[in-house]
Structure 1
Amino acid sequence: MSVHCKGMWDHLNCWPPAFLGETVSQPCPDFFDSEGKVQRNCTIDGWTGLLVPHADACGYTFNETLQFLGETMYTAGYTLSLISLTIAIAIFCLFRKLHCTRNYIHIQLFISFILRAIFIFVRDAQLFNNEELYHCDSYPVACKVVLMFSNYSILANYSWLLAEGHFLFTLVSRSFFSLKKHLAWYIVLSWGLPLIVIVSWGCAKYFYEDEGCWETRRHEWIWWILRVPVLLTILMNLIFFLGILRILVSKLRMPDAQRNEFSQFKRLIKSTFFLVALFGLHYILFVFLPVEVSSSVFKIWNVAELALSSTQGFVVAVLYCFMNGEVQHEIQRRWKRWRLTRPLPSRRRQHHGSISHSGSPHTQVSLLPCSPGSPTTGGPPVDTVEM
Structure 2
Amino acid sequence: PHVNLIKEEEKCLLLKPDFATNCSALWDHLNCWPPSVPGQTVSQPCPDFFNSDGKVERNCTVQGWTDLLVPHEEACGYNFNKTLAFLGEVSASETHMYFSYVKTMYTVGYALSLISLTIAITIFCLFRKLHCTRNYIHIQLFLSFILRAIFIFIRDSMLFTNEELYHCDYYPVACKVVLMFSNYSILANYSWLLSEGHYLFTLITRSFFSLKKHLVWYIILSWGVPLLTIFCWGTAKYFCEDEGCWETRRHEWIWWILRVPVLLTITMNVIFFLGILRIIVNKLRMPDAQRNELKQYKLIKSTFFLVALFGLQYIVFAFLPVSVSSLMFKIWTFAELALSSTQGFVVAVLYCFLNGEVQHEIQRRWRRWRMTRLLPSRPRQYRGSISQSGSPLTQVSMIQPNTKHGLGL
Deviation of 1:285 (Å): 1.6
Deviation of 1:293 (Å): 2.4
Counterpart CA distance in 1 for 2:219 and 2:180 is 20
Tell me, yes or no, if the aligned pair for 1:325 and 1:362 is still in contact at 8 Å: no
Counterpart CA distance in 2 for 1:154 and 1:16 is 42
Distance 1:303 1:16, change over 3 A: farther
Which residue in the other structure is 2:310 paired with?
279
Q: Residue type of the partner of 2:26?
A: H
Identity of aligned residues (%): 67
Which residue in the other structure is 1:208 paired with?
240
Distance 1:362 1:319, change over 3 A: farther
Unmatched 5+ stretches in structure 1: 8-14, 29-34, 37-41, 370-385
Structure with the higher fraction of residues in helix conformation: 2
Alignment of 1:242 onto 2:274: yes
Tell me, yes or no, if the aligned pair for 2:145 and 2:189 is still in contact at 8 Å: yes
Which residue in the other structure is 1:184 paired with?
216
Distance 1:264 1:21, change over 3 A: farther
1:333 corresponds to which of 354, 361, 364: 364
Which residue in the other structure is 2:407 paired with?
368
Tell me, yes or no, if the aligned pair for 1:77 and 1:307 is still in contact at 8 Å: yes
Alignment of 1:105 onto 2:151: no
Q: Residue type of the partner of 2:157?
A: A
Tell me, yes or no, if the aligned pair for 2:172 and 2:244 is still in contact at 8 Å: no
Deviation of 1:87 (Å): 0.5
Alignment of 1:322 onto 2:353: yes
> Which residues of 2 match residues 257-268 of structure 1 at below 5 A?
257-260=289-292, 262-268=293-299
Distance 1:145 1:302, change over 3 A: same
Distance 1:177 1:362, change over 3 A: closer
Counterpart CA distance in 2 for 1:153 and 1:226 is 12
Counterpart CA distance in 1 for 2:328 and 2:319 is 14
Which residue in the other structure is 1:174 paired with?
206
Alignment of 1:228 onto 2:267: no
Q: Which secondary structure does the structure 1 equivalent of 2:313 belong to?
A: helix
Tell me, yes or no, if the aligned pair for 1:151 and 1:198 is still in contact at 8 Å: yes
Tell me, yes or no, if the aligned pair for 2:203 and 2:406 is still in contact at 8 Å: no
Deviation of 1:118 (Å): 0.5
Deviation of 1:295 (Å): 1.0
Deviation of 1:358 (Å): 8.1
Q: Residue type of the partner of 2:297?
A: K
Deviation of 1:150 (Å): 1.0
Let me know the Cα RMSD of the aligned residues: 3.8
Counterpart CA distance in 1 for 2:107 and 2:373 is 41
Tell me, yes or no, if the aligned pair for 2:168 and 2:175 is still in contact at 8 Å: no
Counterpart CA distance in 1 for 2:187 and 2:31 is 37
Alignment of 1:115 onto 2:147: yes
Q: Residue type of the partner of 1:276?
A: V
Counterpart CA distance in 2 for 1:132 and 1:157 is 31
Distance 1:248 1:5, change over 3 A: same
Counterpart CA distance in 2 for 1:16 and 1:171 is 68
Distance 1:135 1:257, change over 3 A: closer
Distance 1:279 1:16, change over 3 A: farther
Tell me, yes or no, if the aligned pair for 1:162 and 1:237 is still in contact at 8 Å: yes
Alignment of 1:299 onto 2:338: no
Q: Which secondary structure does the structure 1 equivalent of 2:291 belong to?
A: coil
Paired residues, what number?
A: 349
Unmatched 5+ stretches in structure 2: 1-22, 35-41, 53-57, 59-65, 74-78
Tell me, yes or no, if the aligned pair for 1:139 and 1:212 is still in contact at 8 Å: no
Distance 1:329 1:24, change over 3 A: farther
Counterpart CA distance in 1 for 2:95 and 2:154 is 26
Alignment of 1:91 onto 2:123: yes
Tell me, yes or no, if the aligned pair for 2:144 and 2:185 is still in contact at 8 Å: yes
- Which sits farther off after the overlay, 98-107 or 126-135? 126-135
Compare CA radii of gyration and give the structure with the larger one.
2
Which residue in the other structure is 1:379 paired with?
none
> Which residues of 2 match residues 128-143 of structure 1 at below 5 A?
128-129=160-161, 134-136=167-169, 139-143=171-175
Counterpart CA distance in 2 for 1:132 and 1:16 is 20
Q: Residue type of the partner of 1:301?
A: W
Which residue in the other structure is 1:159 paired with?
191
Which residue in the other structure is 1:256 paired with?
288
Q: Residue type of the partner of 1:269?
A: I
